[in-house]
Chains A and B, each alone.
Chain A
Amino acid sequence: MAPSAYVWLLLGAAYFIIPLYATLDFSLKKNVIGTPCCTLKNYGWVVHNGDFWHTIKISFLLALETIVISLALFVPTIYLVHLKLPKLRPIIAFMALVPFVVPPIVMVVGLLRTFRGTPHWYYGTPWGFLATAYVILAFPYMFFSLDAGFRSIDVHTLTEASQSLGARWTTTLFRVILPNIRSAALAASFLTLAIVMGEFTIANLAAFHTFPIFIQYVNESQGFPAGALTLMSFGITWAAMLALLVVGRKRGARGAVIAGAR
């Protein structure tokens, strides 16, 4: 690697590390400004706060629900589009851009009006309404990641090979196609997890108490613990992504690599 590359690497690392260090430094300070460093009291406050555990559980479960619904919805759809309806692909790609273009505040108002009058178990709980909104929000990330995964394999040949050996399309999907787009599905899941764990606008306007709402509340009312909370949420999100990676990993095989494409 050329020396200039190291400089750019260091600059890039500094861009991420300096804010994290500043937050860490701030989170270790005592509540009275000017007193010497350091204390873990702010972290203790977060850990012993019931709302912290409650909201992070809601957001994490919401993220999992969004990932499961999105994968269940989009994997077969994109598989079908690649296999039988390739002309639909540009239309779906265009639709997938809509959540990028429409501001969340506009989307949530529209969704609230659309779903008003639906049963309380759906409209009044995060597992119904909010999950629906998050599936829409995650659509572009899911679609473009999965689409790239499907494009990296020979969907037609693998499907026909599997069928000629006696497999039904569901068997083909789960045992042949899905393992070979695992990397793409994992990438889509990571992005969805990160989005849901940090989504504020929709949850706030729809009056649901999720983790980002809790962070906002602490940020407004408790300065130093807010720093601790930010770092902890950062660590928890990364740990969750790592867990997904470990669960989705398999030794030996190369996901999304076409046999022979060397």
Chain B
Amino acid sequence: MSYLQLENLHRSFGSFQALKGINIDLEQGEFLSLLGPSGCGKTTALRLVAGFDQPNAGRILVEGKDLTRVPPNKRDMGMVFQAYSLFPNMTARQNVEFGLKIRGKSKGDRAKPVDDLLELVGLAHAVDRYPHQLSGGMQQRVALARALAIEPRVLLLDEPLSALDAKVRVQLREEIRRIQLELGITTLYVTHDQEEALAISDHVAVMYGGVIEQMGTPAEMYTAPATPFVAEFIGTMNRLDSKVTDGATGEVEHSGLRLQVDAAKGRRNGERVLVLIRPESLELEAATNGSAPNSFQGEVLTQTFLGPVTRVKVTGSGTNLIADMSTARAAALPVGARVSAKIPSEGAKLISLPDDGPGLPVLDPDDH
């Protein structure tokens, strides 16, 4: 039996179905991120677990105990909010000890855990400061310490880093993970930032339209996306809407471009598939006169400097491809240069598409 179970959770707001029956099993001490775009239902799911909202159907169980109708103040769920939520009338220490006071702990019993937690989040020097005297990052650390002080069954984090600047976000997310591992606390983390989710989670659940599209380890989500949406959402992905032309050899065709893809071997001829290629899998070089097998000829449309890596967008024959290459090598391929992109037959992934289905939802990989 899993430690935290969400069973077939449904939640509607009028005619809008925010959750369409999600199921999650989380073991004790695991860190799961609910990842998805705005309106996908991730925060709704978290609020149901916290008890701030009630599901229309389904159950929430912790250690086998049904908490679905238990009020939030009786659930022992520590929560860190997206908005700064420290009590403005209390110092950092008073905020952290609030939950312990509510539980009737004496001053003596409160002192040590509170000091330890403020030490753990690196704020031992700021215990007597009021929230308005703390930076955003410091406030979220206090909020984390406050949520942990009650020794919650599950730690819930609702986009706690979204209001912070980029550098503090990276620093704090690593601290959240360190503290979570140190305390071994079961954690449910909501974010729309896929990099954040992949960096700190044991498992990631990608949500879209009120359902979980795919759940797995960060590596599984990145290397083997199960749906077109996950492929689009996790990392940057080149997606080629193709047809299998020869299932025996693994040949597919996309806008006149014929490619050998290992994953297409054994597929039915004529089957509609989505070929997925990570930008780092593409090998880009200056175009030569002859056409190399499994390669795509085009012109450099844009270059985006990303530090050690440069992202190059290549266009040709109505297809756009994104390739990541070292900045030093990219300098030799300026905008407008004719290039050849070699597509590795073994590196590309395949997802089946309905033969008469709609087009892909979002196709520009630059969106990430």
Contact = CB atoms under 8 A, between A and B. Distances in A.
B132 A254 contact: yes
B66 to A, nearest CB: 19
A79 B115 CA distance: 33
A250 B91 CA distance: 13
Given A160-B72, A161-B79, A259-B132, A166 B150 contact: yes
B21 interface: no
A153 B72 contact: no
Nearest to A154: B83
A257 interface: yes
A158 B85 CA distance: 6
Interface in A98-125: none
A153 B87 CA distance: 10
Contacts of A261: 84, 132
B83 A167 contact: no
Interface in B66-98: 71-79, 81, 83-91, 98
Interface in A233-262: 250, 252-262
27 contacts: A153-B88, A157-B81, A158-B87, A160-B72, A160-B81, A160-B85, A161-B81, A161-B85, A161-B86, A161-B146, A164-B79, A164-B147, A165-B98, A166-B74, A166-B150, A167-B73, A168-B73, A176-B89, A179-B87, A180-B89, A253-B130, A258-B84, A258-B88, A259-B85, A259-B88, A260-B139, A262-B132
B216 interface: no
B101 to A, nearest CB: 9
A179 B78 CA distance: 23
A164 B72 contact: yes
Contacts of A161: 79, 81, 85-87, 143, 146
B298 interface: no
A171 interface: yes
Contacts of A256: 88
Nearest to B82: A157
A157 B88 contact: no
A154 B75 CA distance: 23
B177 to A, nearest CB: 21
A167 B150 CA distance: 12
In the A-B complex, list the 8 residue pairs whose CB atoms are closest, starting with the nearest.
A259-B131, A260-B84, A165-B99, A179-B89, A161-B85, A164-B79, A166-B102, A253-B89
Contacts of B83: 154, 157, 260
Contacts of A252: 91, 130
A163 interface: yes
A209 B134 CA distance: 54
A220 B81 CA distance: 64
B89 A166 contact: no
A80 to B, nearest CB: 16
A154 B82 CA distance: 12
B161 to A, nearest CB: 13
A257 B147 CA distance: 22
> Is chain A's binding surface mostly helix, strand, loop or mixed?
loop
A164 B88 contact: no
A255 B150 CA distance: 26
A162 interface: yes
Contacts of B71: 163
Contacts of A164: 50-51, 72-73, 75, 77-79, 147, 156
A90 B79 CA distance: 32
A71 B229 CA distance: 53
A245 B13 CA distance: 45
B305 interface: no
B102 A165 contact: yes
Contacts of B91: 252
B136 A255 contact: no
Interface string A143-187: 000000000011001101111111110010001100110100000
B103 interface: yes
Contacts of A166: 73-74, 76, 99, 102-103, 150
A260 B163 CA distance: 10
A157 B150 contact: no
Contacts of A176: 87, 89
A163 B73 contact: yes
Contacts of B76: 166
B165 to A, nearest CB: 13
Given A254-B132, A260-B136, A163 B87 contact: no
Which of A164, A254, A262 counts the most chain B CB atoms within 10 A? A164
A259 B84 contact: yes
Given A254-B130, A259-B86, 19 more contacts: A154-B83, A158-B87, A160-B52, A160-B72, A160-B81, A163-B52, A164-B50, A164-B51, A164-B77, A165-B73, A166-B99, A166-B150, A175-B98, A179-B87, A252-B130, A260-B83, A260-B84, A260-B131, A261-B84
B127 to A, nearest CB: 13
Interface string B118-155: 00000000000011101010010001001100100000
